[in-house]
Amino acid sequence: MTTTTSENPLIAADRLTCIREERILFDELSFEILAGDIVQIEGPNGAGKTSLLRILTGLSRPYDGQVLFHGHNIERVSEEYHQDMLYLGHKPGVKPELSAAENLKVNLTLSGQYQHEIKDTLAQVGLDGFEDALAGHLSAGQHRRTALARLWDTNTQIWILDEPFTAIDKLGVENLEKRFIEHANNGGCVILTSHQDLGVISSDRIKRISLGNLDD
């Protein structure tokens, strides 16, 4: 899929090729993402969705092609790029020996985002009253909410999210979609994978990038 635009892209994928275990997942994939975009990466299991996200974050290198940030290869502007990007992987990355509040504080501190509003931030994701509960005693959905709480307390422009709705109930999904809209309306961009349709965000607001032809 190739998408072109006359506006200056925030991120551009330039002829990306990804090979895993001698299998081509995608070849010469190009697209542009603007400030204000909400982008959903679609495709069956094994199509390369997570691989594409990891390439966009700079955690993995493509077999060929490049990712550009404001027209510059992300490898050349790595520090600037990562300061303006938040990546949440498929696993929530929550430490069981820490409380929900401590997990959020650690993640925000490491990214330079700590705002001293941990309780209010956790309340935004439905964890009011669970701030001091050890993560090891929380459910899978509460782990995911603990990780996603960072989206309410960050000033990064680029959000890259791998299956953010996993283990989240319907109300939590709607709340998260509304946060995506708010972020995009404020000049950010959201890039995500999801096996489910987005219900709150109108279909004409979503840019879709489809990968693969494989059966689940």
Summarize pLDDT for 9-56 with one digit per residue, the tens: 999 999 999 999 899 999 999 999 999 999 999 999 899 999 999 999
Residue indicated by tokens 């004409």 = 204
What is the SS3 assignment for 54? helix
Distances (CA, A) of 45 to 25, 41, 91, 97, 215: 11, 12, 16, 32, 7
Going by C-beta distance under 8 Å and a sequence separation of 6 or more, which residues neighbour residue 3? Answer: 30, 31, 32, 207
> What is the per-residue pLDDT across 86-137, written as a single tens digit (0 to 9) for each?
999 988 889 999 999 999 988 888 777 656 678 888 988 999 999 999 999 9
Tokens encoding 57: 């974050």
Over 90: is that where the pLDDT of 179 sits?
A: yes
pLDDT at 216: 35
Q: How far apart are CA 204 and CA 168, in angstroms?
A: 24
Indicate the residue type of 78.
Answer: S
- Under DSSP, the state recorded for 134 is B
Return the percentage of the chain with pLDDT > 90, whole number. 76
List alpha helices for the chain, DSSP H: 49-57, 78-83, 100-110, 118-124, 140-148, 170-185
Return the percentage of the chain with pLDDT > 70, whole number. 93
